[in-house]
C-alpha cells in the first residue's frame, strides 16, 4: 500500500514433510524445495534437517496481504510435496518417526554446526514461526528488543504447538521451546545498553565458540543479519495461517507499542534474567491451560489472564494498525478451541492414535479445511 505508515511485517514458516502411509517424518526436503521453487523462487529454502523446509513471505503493511501470501505459499509447498507423494504439516515438533539422529542437510554451515554443537543437533527437527518487523535503525531495534523481553513468554504460551515428540506425549505444550533452550545462545535476549554493548557481547560469543557466526544468535528476539528488521522467533510453527497472522499482528503491535514508549522516554523493564527463564519454562509446560508468570509482579496468574494483559497492553497499537478486529476474532477462537497443542491433544484423545494427530495437522495446513476465523480485509 503506497504511503502506508504502518510497520511492515513478514514471516518465515518452517514445515515438516510426512510420509502419508506411516505418518512419519520423511527426508524429502531437497526434491520438494526444487519443485516449490519453480513458483516461490528464493522464498523457499532448506533447514538443518532434510525433514524440514522454510518458506518466507515478502514484507507487507496489511494482515490481509500477508494472509493471502502465506496461504499461497502453504498451498504451493503442499502441492510440491504431493507431487512426490508426501504431505506437509506445520507443527513445532514431529509427532512420529525415527528423528534422532536426523538426516542433516548437506552444506558447509550445517556441517560446521554438527562439528561444533554435536548432539545438540540431534533434536533440531523442530519448527518455528519467525516474524520480521521493519526497523532500519539498529540502535532503535535494540531498544525495542529490551522492551519486548517481559512479553516473550506470553508469546510462547499463545503459540504453543509441540506437545508430542518421537511418538510420545512430552507433557509440555511447547516441547520445541525446551529443546531450543539447550543451545548456548537461545531464549530471551540480554538487556542491551547500546549497539557497542551488543557488538561486544556478540564478539565474545564468537571468540568463545558459542556461535559459528552472527546468524547463530538464536535469541527469541534479534536484529536480523540480512534484512532491516527486528526478528521475533519465539513461537512454534502455527497449525493454521490464521494463527500465524494473529501472531504477526500481535508482534507488530508489541513493536509499535515499544516504539511509542521509547519516544515518550519510558524506561524499559528490567526483569531478572532467571525470572524470564522460569517464565519461558512455565509457558512451555502449560501453554494457556494453566498458570503463567506475571513478570511485573513475579507471581503466578492464570495463563489466559496474562495473555489478556498482553492484549490490553497492545490494544491501542492494534487499533492504529487496523488489526483490532482480526486480533479479537482470533483470540476468541483460540479461547474456544485452544492453542495448537490443545488441538493436537484433542485429535489424539478421540482414538488414542498419534496417526490421527498427524492427519489433523495435514488437513489444517490450509485454513480452508479448518473452522478458524478468516482474516478480514484491512
| Percent of the chain residues topping a pLDDT of 70 | 96
Indicate whether 1 pLDDT > 80: no
pLDDT of res. 93: 98
Q: What share of the chain is helix, strand, coil (3-state, %, to 5)?
A: 50, 15, 35
For residue 141, pLDDT beyond 90:
yes
Q: How many domains does the chain have?
A: 1
Residue 69: helix, strand or coil by DSSP?
Answer: helix
Residue 3 lies in a domain: no
- pLDDT at residue 185 in the model: 96
pTM for the structure as a whole: 0.96
Q: Rounded distance, CA 189 to CA 222, Å?
A: 8
CA distance 255 to 278: 23
Q: Any residues with CB less than 8 A from the CB of 62 and at least 6 apart, and which?
A: 1, 4, 6, 322, 377, 378
Residue 372: pLDDT band with limits 50, 70, 90:
low
Question: What pLDDT sits at residue 108?
Answer: 94
pLDDT at 378 over 80: no
What's the CATH number where 60 sits? Answer: 3.30.590.20
pLDDT for position 66: 98
Question: Three cell numbers at 33?
Answer: 524445495
DSSP letter string, 265-327: TPPPP---HHHHHHHHHHHHHHTTSSEEEETTTTEEEEHHHHHHHHHHHHHHHHHHTT-HHHH
Contact between 202 and 93 under an 8 Å Cβ cutoff? The reply is no
Q: Is residue 378 part of a domain?
A: no
Is residue 2 domain-resident? no
pLDDT tens digits, one per residue of 273-293: 999 999 999 999 999 999 999
Residue range 107-127: mean pLDDT, rounded: 94
Task: Identify whether 374 is part of a domain.
Answer: no
In a domain? residue 19? yes
Confidence of residue 2 (pLDDT cuts 50, 70, 90): low
Residue 4 in domain: no
pLDDT in tens, 340-371: 999 999 999 999 999 999 999 999 986 544 44
Higher pLDDT, 374 or 177: 177
Q: What grid cell was written down for 97?
A: 518417526
Task: Tell me the mean pLDDT in the region 313-328.
Answer: 98
Q: Which domain holds residue 283?
A: 9-369
For the segment 48-64, what is each residue's pLDDT rounded down to a tens digit?
A: 999 999 999 999 999 99
Does 245 map to a domain? yes
Look at residue 265 and tell me if it is in a domain: yes
Amino acid at each position: 500500500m503506497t504511503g502506508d505508515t504502518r510497520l511492515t511485517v513478514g514471516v518465515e514458516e518452517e514445515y515438516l514433510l510426512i510420509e502419508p502411509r506411516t505418518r512419519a517424518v520423511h527426508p524429502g526436503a531437497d526434491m520438494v524445495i526444487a519443485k516449490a521453487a519453480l513458483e516461490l523462487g528464493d522464498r523457499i529454502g532448506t533447514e538443518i534437517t532434510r525433514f524440514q523446509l522454510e518458506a518466507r513471505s515478502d514484507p507487507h503493511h496489511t494482515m490481509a496481504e500477508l494472509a493471502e501470501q502465506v496461504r499461497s505459499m502453504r498451498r504451493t509447498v503442499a502441492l510440491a510435496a504431493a507431487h512426490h507423494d508426501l504431505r506437509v504439516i506445520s507443527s513445532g515438533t514431529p509427532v512420529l518417526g525415527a528423528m534422532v539422529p536426523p538426516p542433516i542437510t548437506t552444506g558447509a554451515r550445517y556441517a560446521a554446526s554438527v562439528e561444533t554443537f554435536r548432539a545438540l543437533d540431534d533434536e533440531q527437527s523442530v519448527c518455528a514461526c519467525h516474524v520480521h518487523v521493519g526497523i532500519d535503525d539498529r540502535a532503535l531495534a535494540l531498544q525495542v528488543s529490551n522492551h519486548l523481553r517481559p512479553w516473550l513468554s506470553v508469546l510462547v504460551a499463545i503459540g504453543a504447538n509441540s506437545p508430542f515428540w518421537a511418538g510420545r506425549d512430552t507433557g509440555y505444550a511447547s516441547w520445541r521451546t525446551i529443546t531450543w533452550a539447550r543451545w548456548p545462545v537461545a531464549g530471551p535476549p540480554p538487556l542491551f545498553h547500546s549497539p557497542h554493548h551488543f557488538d561486544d557481547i556478540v564478539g565474545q560469543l564468537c571468540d568463545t565458540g558459542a556461535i559459528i557466526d552472527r546468524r547463530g544468535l538464536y535469541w527469541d528476539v534479534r536484529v536480523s543479519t540480512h534484512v532491516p528488521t527486528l526478528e521475533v522467533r519465539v513461537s512454534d510453527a502455527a497449525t493454521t495461517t490464521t494463527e500465524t497472522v494473529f501472531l504477526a499482528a500481535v508482534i507488530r503491535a508489541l513493536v509499535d507499542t515499544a516504539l511509542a514508549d521509547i519516544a515518550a522516554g519510558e524506561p524499559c523493564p528490567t526483569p531478572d534474567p532467571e525470572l524470564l527463564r522460569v517464565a519461558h519454562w512455565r509457558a512451555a509446560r502449560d501453554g494457556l491451560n494453566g498458570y503463567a508468570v506475571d513478570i511485573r509482579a513475579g507471581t503466578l496468574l492464570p495463563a489466559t489472564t496474562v495473555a489478556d494483559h498482553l492484549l490490553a497492553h497492545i490494544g491501542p497499537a492494534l487499533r492504529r494498525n487496523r488489526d483490532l478486529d482480526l486480533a479479537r476474532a482470533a483470540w476468541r477462537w483460540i479461547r474456544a478451541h485452544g492453542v495448537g497443542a490443545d488441538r493436537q491433544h484433542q485429535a489424539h484423545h478421540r482414538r488414542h492414535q498419534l496417526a490421527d494427530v498427524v492427519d489433523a495437522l495435514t488437513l489444517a495446513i490450509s485454513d480452508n479445511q479448518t473452522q478458524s476465523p478468516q482474516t478480514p480485509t484491512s
